[in-house]
Amino acid sequence: MTTFYHGYDGLLCDLDGVVYAGAQPIPYAVDTLNALIERGIPVGFVTNNASKSAADVADRLTSFGVDTDSTHVITSAQAVADVLKREYQPADGPVLVTGSEQLTALIQAAGFATTAVAADAPQVVVQGFNPHLGWKDLAEASFAIQHGAGWLASNLDLTIPLAQGVAPGNGSLVNAVAQATGHRPELAAGKPAPTMFRTMANRFSMRQPLVVGDRLDTDVLGALNAGFDGALVETGIHRRADLPAFRRISSPTWVLPDLSVLLNSPEPEHRGQHDRP
């Protein structure tokens, strides 16, 4: 069995703030990922972004030069569609989708009718990130929830790192609806829930994967929830200086300045704070 870094047999990698920021690749990320793939290390990409399909995400990665395909990608849109199928029935009414065309397509493929207006009496609202959402979309979701519809969210990320800076994420849009309705989603399917991590680990027979991400509250906490080691990479939202603020909920095994560190043996300065003297 081929392993890397500290004996890990697979890598589960976040995307925004780890592999790219907006339209720009993160320095060293592409070369590091390809080097691991060439060694025979399975690399899975786990993203809370629900605005793109797995195929779209894979196309974006390959455009940056990453040697991968859609089978190595899982999105929170796929995760929330799976939850919808488990918790709701198509015969009970339409689904109000507050999100992207890709999320709508996944829900329709699961056999549900979809709508964009509360007047259609949807049984549940499914909210996922879409940079083109507007006030009317959030208002229709609010109206439906006030009239008794259920509410599922793809993820609760408050922010998204982009090349220009940090922008509001799906969690910020969820909070806008929560302020209007006085309710919170009954479930968020993406990280830090362990589902996507475990799905990808099982898909590629990883027994001891390393989860790498730029957020302590989603990536590292999600790794902990899945029973895997987590590494915080300091190229996105959080840095080592943020560890004390999140100490009670999550603590990374490693803190890395960038992904290239994974091609070498571990150094003491890269251990998480809880492992340091």
Chain segment 205-243, per-residue pLDDT in tens: 999 999 999 999 999 999 999 999 999 999 999 999 999
Nearest to 162 by CA among 133, 126, 188, 131: 131
Amino acid 162: pLDDT: 82
At residue 163 the predicted structure's pLDDT band, cuts being 50, 70 and 90, is confident
Amino acid 273: pLDDT: 62
Are 204 and 3 in contact by the 8 Å Cβ rule? The answer is: no
Please give the structure tokens belonging to residue 130.
């879409």
* Higher-confidence position of 257 and 160: 257
Residue 96 pairs in a beta bridge with 115, 125
pLDDT digits (tens, 9 = 90+) for 1-25: 899 999 999 999 999 999 999 889 9
Amino acid 277: pLDDT: 36
CA distance linking residue 178 with residue 15, whole number of Å: 27
Task: Show me where the domains of the chain are located.
Answer: 10-48+191-275, 77-188
Q: Which CATH fold would you assign to the domain 10-48+191-275? A: Rossmann fold (3.40.50)
Are 162 and 140 in contact by the 8 Å Cβ rule? The answer is: no
Please give the structure tokens belonging to residue 211.
């989860």
CA distance linking residue 215 with residue 223, whole number of Å: 11
Specify the CATH class of 77-188 in words: alpha beta
CA distance linking residue 219 with residue 186, whole number of Å: 21
The residue assigned the tokens 């392993």 is 3
Give alpha helix (H) positions in 147-253. 170-181, 195-203, 221-226, 243-246
Amino acid 52: pLDDT: 87
CA distance linking residue 126 with residue 105, whole number of Å: 12
Active-site entry in 9, 14, 137, 229: 14
Q: Do domains 10-48+191-275 and 77-188 have the same CATH topology?
A: yes
At residue 248 the predicted structure's pLDDT band, cuts being 50, 70 and 90, is confident
Q: Annotated catalytic, 16? A: yes
Residue 122 pairs in a beta bridge with none
Q: Annotated catalytic, 14? A: yes
Please give the structure tokens belonging to residue 224.
């902990």
